[in-house]
Amino acid sequence: MGRLVMKFGGTSVANIDRIRNVAQHVKREVDAGHEVAVVVSAMSGKTNELVAWCTEVSPMHDAREYDAIVASGELVTAGLLAIALQTIGIQARSWQGWQIPIKTSDAHASARIDEIDGDKLIKRFKERKEVAVIAGFQGIHEPTGRVTTLGRGGSDTSAVAIAAAVKADRCDIYTDVDGVYTTDPRVVPKAQRMNKVAFEEMLELASQGAKVLQVRSVELGMTHNMPIFVRSSFDKPEDIDPHGTPPGTLICSEEEIMESHVVTGIAFSKDEAQISVRQIEDKPGVAASIFVPLAEANINVDMIVQNVSEDGKTTDLTFTVPATDYARAKETITAAKAKIGYARIDSATDVAKVSVIGSGMRSHAGVAAQAFAALSERQINIRAITTSEIKFSVLIDTAYTELAVRTLHTLYGLDKA
């Protein structure tokens, strides 16, 4: 007998029939003797609807009230699933985030989990044999007593955090795909599902554009060494052996992976914008005058390239931000013009970031050089480059995204099973 946390996303609970299907997945694990906590998202499309209502009432709405509204979607799902489980003879109770409690910071709409006490849930596992159905994506800031939400994809983070709190054997993330692929199969039909991925590699994949898991959920899994299993909720519950290994991808520590590939996967993001601040005086503190205001505005800066002029007196700074933050980033830089002292701002929104990820890069030279040569042969111009120990990213024109991804996927032998 083990202890599992099962998380179901919006498409998995999109309607009553899907919720009944989820109940059968849970029943299978309970019947196998496992202690089970379930974390659910809002029904598909519901959070978008709630967000739209907030914006319709007031584009500049109170973030605290926004959280109170959007957190309601998960409450509905949790209650419906608890009823569905009770209907098929499974003892179950729904929990709101504050009832556990999931204690968070007060950064409304993007709060971070500070603490979860899993003792109450563990006690109910033992004494009542009860399935806990928990509303994901939400918590409470105890000093103010206000409901908080964790940002888009926050139910993944809730699930991994709860799994760590109750000392679960594994956290199963059920979604509309059957695992993590070497890249998006819609772009590269030959993309392969991976059986195992190291936490560090998955962290890079998620942060560079792969949509399977929220970045913070992977960070939590790595911190607590909590295995995360990504699997499909659309597999028939009755066809799955709870004691076997169903199709899916296990995200785990690198030590558990027997053979490490040079390149594990290719991630990409079209939600990028490029900003170039031109002809800044080349002196100490100039970078801080640009990036400190952006940080204070909670704008995440990714790729940074600096070019110094031939005379050494001025410099250009080019960087990327999420497309959603593009307008705010330009406004922030414009407002700080007197302090920065630049000549002009150039920008582009028709750019994409393509990233090559693999822990094997640590011990193999020339991996990036191969990519640059292959892209050059395809006449794909590189605007900017960033690297880390197990990843490098290139910024290119959006129009060439799919071609670049397919080229690199083939180059590193990822087309082959």
DSSP H or E stretch at residue 29: helix 16-31
Of 254, 281, 312, the residue at which a domain comes to its end is: 254
Say if 416 falls within a structural domain.
no
Q: How many residues does the chain have?
A: 417
Residues 138 and 187 in one domain: yes
Position 51 scores a pLDDT of 93
Q: Is the pLDDT of residue 260 over 80?
A: no
User: Are 269 and 208 a contacting pair, CB within 8 Å?
Assistant: yes
pLDDT attached to residue 222: 95
33 annotated ligand-binding residue: no
pLDDT in tens, 97-117: 999 999 999 999 989 999 999
72 and 194 co-located in one domain: yes
Does 166 share its domain with 294?
Answer: no
pLDDT at 261: 79
The boundaries of the domain holding residue 137 are 3-254
Burial class (CB in 10 A: 0-12, 13-18, 19+), 321: buried
Token pair recorded at residue 404: 């670049």
Any domain includes 291: yes
Place of tokens 């330009």: 330
212 is in an annotated binding site: yes
Cα angle, residue 125 at apex, residues 93 and 214 outer, rounded to 5° = 70
Residues 249 and 271 in one domain: no
- In this structure, the answer to whether residues 337 and 248 fall within a common structural domain is no
Does 30 lie in the same domain as 77?
Answer: yes
Least confident of 199-203, 384-388, 402-406: 384-388
The verdict on whether residue 9 carries a ligand-binding annotation is yes
CATH number at residue 380: 3.30.2130.10
Question: Binding site annotation covers 10?
Answer: yes
Q: Does the annotation place 186 within a ligand binding site?
A: yes
For residue range 314-351, list pLDDT tens digits in order: 889 999 999 989 999 999 999 999 999 999 999 999 99
175 is in an annotated binding site: yes
Instruction: Please report which confidence band the pLDDT of residue 259 belongs to, taking 50, 70 and 90 as the band edges.
Output: low
> Could you say which of 197, 219, 254 is where a domain stops?
254
Examine the domain organization and report whether 249 and 270 are in the same domain.
no
Report which of 42, 120, 131 is spatially closest to residue 92, judged by C-alpha positions.
Answer: 131
Tell me if 239 is assigned to a ligand binding site. Answer: no
Q: Can you give the pLDDT at residue 251? A: 96
Q: For residue 227, is the peptide bond before it cis, meaning its omega torsion is within 30 degrees of 0? A: no
Residues 225 and 301 in one domain: no
CB of 395 closer than 8 Å to CB of 382: yes
- 191-224 pLDDT, tens per residue? 999 999 999 999 999 888 777 888 899 999 999 9
Asked whether residue 244 is marked as a ligand-binding residue, the answer is: no
74 belongs to an annotated ligand binding site? yes
Query: Is 169 known to sit in a ligand binding site?
Result: no
Write down the pTM of the prediction.
0.87
The residue among 254, 277, 295 that closes a domain is 254
Q: Kind of pairing, strands 3-8 and 170-175? A: parallel
Same domain as 319, residue 241: no
In a domain, 417, yes or no: no
| Contacts (Cβ under 8 Å, ≥6 apart) of 190 | 409, 414, 415
Burial of residue 220 (number of CB atoms within 10 Å: 0-12, 13-18, 19+): buried
User: Which residues, at least 6 apart from 228, have a Cβ–Cβ distance to it below 8 Å?
Assistant: 160, 170, 171, 172, 173, 213, 217, 218, 221, 250, 251, 252
Distances (CA, A) of 130 to 27, 39, 54, 167: 12, 14, 36, 16
